[in-house]
A and B are shown apart, each in its own frame.
Chain A
């Protein structure tokens, strides 16, 4: 990343920021507002780097919601029963709705939505790695609903306390809806885990596969993340990757153990001295490989996203042109 970002942890002001000040003291006033817990709003002065990082964060988040709808959407025709199907349809619809809320929040920073959509379908912007892994069985849908959405809630509840108003407000609405996703996921897991031996085995198999992608969900360890310093200083990302991972483990490991699912990490243990969960680091090389496009389903997911975007274009065109005859009349 840029040198300005690397220097952000020290006392020096990033060069990019100082250059953009239109009157002296603007940056200091901006940072004082954040320190007071005030939200920054779209029309306010903000450092160029704040805007850039915020667009990156929100755009990735929006992309993840939109891409997350694909693996679950694929299972709608195979949902076991009408109630499960209705719930899954509702969840997928929510995810797409969340994407819309987040793209709107990113737009308030000056990046047009069509530009973000184009970057996504062209593979030029990122989204959460977990959606590049397959959902092989119905138990995967249970795991995604309970654990991926559970991890997302941990992340989004933290991000909600961040300094940018439109993002924070969108997240309030999103976390409210995610609560339903979590509950329906947990209900699925419990149903399978207390079911027939075949259902139990399917549940455990899916859990074991999702454990490592989940451990990567919050991103690389803090020492390796180039963004952390500046993101914390400007309350863009109020807690670090490692802090978020620990919150997730504190919340979910007891529930996993209560159910009796076997965690595929023999070294996972509660460390009394540090008050944290000790765990085996996931394969961060795999993480990098997947983020660069080398994951099991990157190409397939993006191709489908692109296809759906193309297939939807007739509707966008039709809606746009519908108004014209009336205007002429």
Chain B
């Protein structure tokens, strides 16, 4: 278990009476961080956790105007306005971003992975693909080349 955070630091750093790691005995009191420590030690015993469990928002980021928004992650927020602020801080710290969407996670409906077989193509669907069509091949032209045929129609 961890030591009691409220315990005196000097005594806590020497468990079982051992003089452990002596080079850490440096005095720390020169900045607000360390001044806050004294306060923290006094306040800590009364600490009561009072966090809130806000709803989850899914975040979608657009890198460039005109492009798709892409899902980048999720955050907690009490409302959409705060969600947009937190989304910016969490996902748009660097890299391109021109627009963010947030939506309550529970507003998203998804298919079940269990049903992923509905997406499996049971028949040949090559007819839906550009690669499924060959266009004009020499073997399909009888007697004339493409060039002469084109010339013939233009006159």
- Using a CB–CB distance below 8 Å, which chain A residues touch chain B? 41, 43-44, 73-74, 77-78, 90, 93-94, 97, 100-101, 104, 107, 112-114, 117-118, 121-124, 133-134, 136, 169-170, 173, 177, 209, 286, 289, 292-300, 302-304, 306-307, 309-310, 313, 316-317, 319-320, 322-323
Q: In this complex, what residue of B is CB-closest to A313? A: B50
Interface centre among A100, A121, A134, A299 (most CB of B within 10 A): A299
CB A63 to nearest CB in B, in angstroms, measures: 12
CB A126 to nearest CB in B, in angstroms, measures: 8
CB A33 to nearest CB in B, in angstroms, measures: 10
Would you call B47 an interface residue if the criterion is a C-beta within 8 Å of the partner chain's C-beta atoms? Answer: yes
| Contact-residue size bin, chain B (C-beta under 8 Å from the other chain) | 35 or more
Would you call B70 an interface residue if the criterion is a C-beta within 8 Å of the partner chain's C-beta atoms? Answer: no
Q: Point out the residues of chain B lying under 8 angstroms from A319, CB to CB.
A: 77-78, 82
Contacting residue for A123 out of B2, B41, B43, B54, CB 8 A: B2
Q: Point out the residues of chain A lying under 8 angstroms from B127, CB to CB.
A: none
B62-85 toward A: CB 8 Å interface, digit per residue (1/0)?
000000000011111111001000
Q: Point out the residues of chain B lying under 8 angstroms from A78, CB to CB.
A: 31
Q: Point out the residues of chain B lying under 8 angstroms from A93, CB to CB.
A: 89, 93
Q: A134-B24, A298-B12, A299-B4 are known contacts. Are A306 and B75 too (CB-CB below 8 A)?
A: no
Q: How many A-B residue pairs have CB under 8 A?
A: 147
New A-B contacts (11) at CB < 8 Å, excluding given A136-B26, A317-B50, A319-B77: A43-B112, A93-B89, A100-B75, A101-B73, A104-B56, A114-B51, A123-B1, A134-B26, A286-B20, A304-B33, A307-B44
- The answer to whether B33 touches A74 (Cβ under 8 A) is yes
> Considering the chains assembled together, what is the distance between the CA atoms of A302 and B5 in angstroms?
6
Q: In this complex, what residue of A is CB-closest to B23? A: A209
Q: Point out the residues of chain A lying under 8 angstroms from B6, CB to CB.
A: 299, 303
